[in-house]
Structure 1
Amino acid sequence: MKKINALLGAAAAVALTVGAASAADVTLRIQTHYAPETVSGKLAQQFVDDVETMSGGEIDIEMFFSSSVVKSVETFDAAATGILDCDMTGGAYQTGKNPAFQFVGDIMGGYDTPYQQLSWLYQGGGFEAADQLYRKYDMKLVGWWIYGQESLASTKPIRGPEDLKDWKFRSPPGLETEIFANLGAKPIVMDFTEIFTALETGIIDGADASGIANNVGLGLYDIAKHANYPGFHSMPSDHLACNANVWDGLSDKHKRIIDTSMQKLALQTALTFEVKNAEAVAGLPEKGVTVHNWSPEDKAMFRAAAQKAWDGWATKTPEAGALVASHRAYLKQLGLIAE
């Protein structure tokens, strides 16, 4: 009996050891620029819950919201160097490394809907081309989550292109600054987390921050009483990108769980914002916010200016040229451009 009890005790100890090891298999430190109270922040938290639940607790995610570890533009490098494990911001922040990141981060003047843009990634040959770019910088692209066209926030009317003259606004780095500057605006590159204070103090007249529901969540329209909807200028692909060594060290099971959770996040983000953006717009007039809807002609003017700017960026690096060519071919296939 003593021998049996000893064997049972040993077996229990082994089981506890295995269970403890399993529970601590993987901890991923991920940073996003979104605040937890925004729609995107809540969706990111659901992604965390999906991964942890499907892995049975084998994967633990520490999510750092509101760029609380490093600045938004520094998240990619922090993951590549091991300060973090993964980056949940967007590729457009990395255009200083290679202009090609513009065309996996914010294509500008390209696709009309998140579904079209996602289809380039998964059906149009985009994923392989994009991942090759990320691998050059010791990172692995896992997936995108796209909330749709962005809307602007402004303390001044933004009725059409004529109102962009001398309009000072927060812009992310990259192609956008060039396009808006050519249209007469004065883009100022600043971190996502600095927008509210800059608007409040009058450093800027407006901001390109996010989709209109996220802008409401950030409180931008408490200060800025002008918006535009539907958007037309920008539809960023927020990404999940992980340190390549960290990703390669995951089991196939864990990779599949994260990939599946990411694709769910992509779908739920697009679907959720269809509703949330409409709800946000409906509630803005009672807050004293004027919503401007640019005419088709004005939107076409912007899109033409954006796609003309692509050509200059396509000459900057071979990777940028390849991605621009890929997007043009796929946009033509979808019937969104004629050439």
Structure 2
Amino acid sequence: MKLNNILAGAVIAAALPLSSAIAQEYNWNFQAFMPAGSDAYTAFVDFTDRVEAMSDGRIKITPLPEDSVVSGREQLDAVASGILNGQFGSIGYNAGQDPAFGVLGNFVGGYDSPWQAQAFFDEGGGLELARELYSDYNVHFVAPVFWQGESIPSTIPITSVADFAGVKIRAPEGTVGRVFAEMGASVVGLPGSELFQALSTGLIEATDYLTLGQNAQVGLHESAKYAIYPGIHSNPTLEISVNADDWAELPDDLKAIVVGATRVLSVDVMQRTYLTDQAAAARLPTEEGVTLIDWSAEERRKLREISAGVMGEYATESDMAQRIYDSQVVFMRSIGLL
């Protein structure tokens, strides 16, 4: 009896280090589309730390800021091909691949708050549509991430729809760029890392980029002494997504950890950008000489009408874009936005 107990103990003791030795580790590189030092990037670094802690070190993600490996618009292709294992990206940046990304990533003028957009993914079918869309690109869409409505910093005052006529503005492809173009603006495509110089030299006069606080964190207020705030145009949908082959290799418990950590990331980013926006709105006018421009309800209504027309036309350009557009319209009607 004693011998059996000794043998059983020896088997257990031998098995424990063996199981630890064969537990697979996953070392991934993820690139973000925003600069280091911004609220969202800091939260992203916390996300990578959280995943490593929750997985007991089985998943290690190295965070990389914008343009470290590829530009933001190239991140999807880099993840699909395995150059990157994953990304903290912006869905709308992929609109050149399929208009569906534009409709899913930024229903311009559609939602009043990031919580409403989050609810579309959770309760309105958005998550399922996103995963179907990304699967065609060998990428697994993990979950959406949101921040507060974006501000538009500019070197000239823009107080109305009419003021956009002739303005040189940096904006991504897809719905956002088309809405600006519909208002008469000249849309320029530039990576985020070039915006400070572009504003300083006059290459552009305004930009769609980040929230008010995050724009200040990267110094855009030093060149752009005007900012539309509260935001008028954009509650973009961000994302954590992973190469589909890498995702398939993960056991279910690690997949659940990544999904859960992404949900926490979204809450972190929403809260941090809210607090930073509030602080920036108090500080920038008094300390930095920035004029904050709050559009009237009438001008916001004009923009919403323009956006609705652009979005409806844009959605006809692919079957998936139309499906996503229809799904969002149904959801918006269900919560009283339309």
TM-score range, shorter chain: over 0.9
* Local SS of the residue matching 2:83: coil
1:302 aligns with 2:303: yes
Q: Deviation of residue 272 (structure 1)?
A: 2.0
1:30 maps to 30
Question: Any conservation in 1 of the 2:33–2:90 contact (CA below 8 Å)?
Answer: no
Q: Deviation of residue 140 (structure 1)?
A: 0.9
Q: TM-score scaled by structure 1?
A: 0.93
* Local SS of the residue matching 1:240: strand
Q: Deviation of residue 10 (structure 1)?
A: 11
2:72 maps to 72
* Local SS of the residue matching 2:332: helix
Distance in 2, matches of 1:9 and 1:33, equals: 52
| Structure 1 counterpart of 2:59, one-letter code | I
Question: Which runs of 5 or more residues in structure 1 are unaligned?
Answer: 1-7
List per-residue Cα deviations over 1:261-286 (Å, max 9, x = no partner): 00011112112222111111111112
Provide closer, same or farther for how the CA distance between residues 203 and 10 of structure 1 changes in structure 2, counting only shifts above 3 A. farther
2:197 maps to 197
Q: Deviation of residue 11 (structure 1)?
A: 8.7
Distance in 2, matches of 1:103 and 1:183, equals: 19
Distance in 2, matches of 1:152 and 1:13, equals: 62
Alignment of 1:254-333 (within 5 A): 254-285=254-285, 286-333=287-334
1:230 maps to 230
2:5 maps to none
Distance in 1, matches of 2:10 and 2:129, equals: 54
Aligned residue pairs, count: 333
Question: Any conservation in 1 of the 2:140–2:244 contact (CA below 8 Å)?
Answer: yes
| Structure 1 counterpart of 2:232, one-letter code | F
CA RMSD after TM alignment? 2.1
Distance in 2, matches of 1:236 and 1:70, equals: 21
| Structure 2 counterpart of 1:241, one-letter code | S
Distance in 1, matches of 2:160 and 2:237, equals: 25
* Local SS of the residue matching 2:208: strand
Question: Any conservation in 1 of the 2:29–2:62 contact (CA below 8 Å)?
Answer: yes
1:136 aligns with 2:133: no
Bigger Cα displacement from structure 2, 191-200 vs 76-85: 191-200
* Local SS of the residue matching 1:137: coil
2:3 maps to none
Distance in 1, matches of 2:192 and 2:303, equals: 23
Question: Any conservation in 1 of the 2:157–2:226 contact (CA below 8 Å)?
Answer: yes
List per-residue Cα deviations over 1:246-266 (Å, max 9, x = no partner): 111111010000000000111
1:336 aligns with 2:312: no
1:246 maps to 246
List per-residue Cα deviations over 1:123-148 (Å, max 9, x = no partner): 11111111111111111110111112
Runs of 4+ in 1 over 6 A off after TM superposition: 8-14
Provide closer, same or farther for how the CA distance between residues 204 and 13 of structure 1 changes in structure 2, counting only shifts above 3 A. farther
Distance in 2, matches of 1:201 and 1:256, equals: 47
Distance in 2, matches of 1:184 and 1:335, equals: 30
Alignment of 1:44-83 (within 5 A): 44-83=44-83
Distance in 2, matches of 1:77 and 1:66, equals: 15
List per-residue Cα deviations over 1:124-173 (Å, max 9, x = no partner): 11111111111111111101111121000101111222221111111111
Distance in 2, matches of 1:13 and 1:47, equals: 35
Q: Deviation of residue 19 (structure 1)?
A: 3.7
Distance in 2, matches of 1:84 and 1:335, equals: 40
Distance in 2, matches of 1:203 and 1:275, equals: 31
1:102 maps to 102
* Local SS of the residue matching 1:158: coil
Distance in 2, matches of 1:312 and 1:323, equals: 13
| Structure 2 counterpart of 1:110, one-letter code | G
1:157 maps to 157
Distance in 2, matches of 1:334 and 1:98, equals: 28
Question: Any conservation in 1 of the 2:31–2:88 contact (CA below 8 Å)?
Answer: yes
Distance in 1, matches of 2:98 and 2:190, equals: 19
Bigger Cα displacement from structure 2, 217-226 vs 169-178: 169-178
